[in-house]
Amino acid sequence: MEEQRELILNGNLRSLLFKFSMPAIIGMLVNALYNMVDTLFVGQGVGPLAISALTIVLPMQIIMMSFGIMTGIGSSSVISRAFGAKDYNKALKSVGSGIVLTVFFSLIFLIPAYIFADKILYFFGASSETFTFAYDYMSIILIGFITYSLVIFANSIIRAEGKPRASMYVMIIGAACNIILDPIFIFILKLGVKGAAIATIISQFISLLFVLAFFISKKSSYILKISHFNPDLKISREIIAVGFPSFILQILSSVIFLIFNKSLVYYGTDMHVAVMGIGLRMTNFIEMPIIGITQGYSTLVSFNYGAKLYTRIKKIFKEAFIWTFIIAGAGFIIMMLFPEQVLGLFTKDKSLIQMGIMPLRIIIIFLPFIGFQVLGGSLFQAIGKAIPALIITLSRQLLLLIPALIVLPIFFNINGIWFAIPVSSFFSIILTSFFVYFQIRKFNELSEVKPMF
């Protein structure tokens, strides 16, 4: 551990940044690819209305993720602290309790979701043209709800035992299976949207089988007994308490997508929903490696902040920002110069492609600077300043995007929805700059060196 500490405090920052970020970058890219593949194949194999249907179901899928994220993050926190204290029995009880909680919460949500599926979809923005596609997809996706939640939960607790590579393999296996199975079920078996959903739940099940194989192998520290699955009330409360903020953030993301969908249907058409579905998946694909870099960067900042190496923290921030700018900038150039080709990956419908060119260019206006906003929020998390971290994290979506989505369409109709994204991004970047500027000044005062910025 001491050797690792010395490396972090004295090693080459660029090498360290990628060493700590690469597993997360790969994992995030795979996760984004997982979400994008269904839309890509469905768009090519079924049509634009099917893309709209998948976009309408997206808030439901985010809610499905939220339970696994809550129990996974909560359990991994308890497990990591238990391992640190050499309380291995508590760590194993936390795994068992987390599994039981994941299944319990998934079932509680699954049952009413099935019973009221039609009402939920209409509330989410389904029209008479997209309802059948959306229902076919969601009714099958829900079958794999518990499996999906357990896979997400398992990813967190595998990382908690210090096996990030195994966690990465879970996601890679799922994505690879989905990429292989999607064209088989959609094009060869001609099952359309249902085929995409079947491919997804099979891929999730295969991921879960890999998780089970890992747990029963000697590579895992978790040797579970039946007694560990008897939920411990105190541990369960701790798991929920720690994981609940992440659950709320996921629910807020679902609400934002819901507002997007309903606004697009109100001010536009199902085709506009399809355009937004494509745009959001493309920007999400670009943002995922940025979030991966941020995870590695956060670890480096925390270590160096603890060692009071403030000048080194500024260098880490600068290095991370350069790479996030390069990644996002490359995506910006491709989508700005070749929007027709990007849209053409998802659909052959020429009217949808022409309709989507301007919106795609609008929503990516500030994409190159998105890394600055993400890194800024992570900076304050890493140094233990919760309030600035919370304000920055919530600013782009909850504090700025939702009001923009409500107000701008009133004055600019459908164009107001597209502009809501860059407008909220702009003000979020300004807000982040304010907090980061004064924190950098604080670092300069503490280190008593010539300011870098």
Per-residue pLDDT tens over the stretch 254-288:
898 899 999 999 999 999 999 999 998 899 889 88
Q: What is the pLDDT of residue 200?
A: 93
Phi first, then psi: give them for residue 442, nearest 5 degrees.
-65, -45
Dist. CA 50–CA 44, nearest whole Å? 10
Dist. CA 281–CA 347, nearest whole Å? 14
Half-sphere exposure of 366 (CA within 13 A, CB side): 20
User: Do the beta carbons of residue 48 and residue 271 sit within 8 Å?
Assistant: yes
- Rounded to a whole number of angstroms, the distance between the first and last alpha carbons of the chain is 33
User: Do the beta carbons of residue 103 and residue 146 sit within 8 Å?
Assistant: yes
- Dihedral of the CA atoms 128, 60, 35, 211 (nearest 10)? -140
Q: What is the pLDDT of residue 126?
A: 92
Instruction: Express each pLDDT in 312-335 by its tens digit.
Output: 999 999 999 999 999 999 999 999
pTM to 2 decimal places:
0.84
DSSP string, 352-399: HHHHHHHHHHHHTTTGGGHHHHHHHHHHHHHTT-HHHHHHHHHIIIII
Q: What is the pLDDT of residue 244?
A: 86
Give pLDDT < 50 ranges for the chain: 1, 451-453
Q: What is the pLDDT of residue 1?
A: 46
- Domain ranges across the chain: 1-22+269-453, 46-267
User: Do the beta carbons of residue 368 and residue 290 sit within 8 Å?
Assistant: no
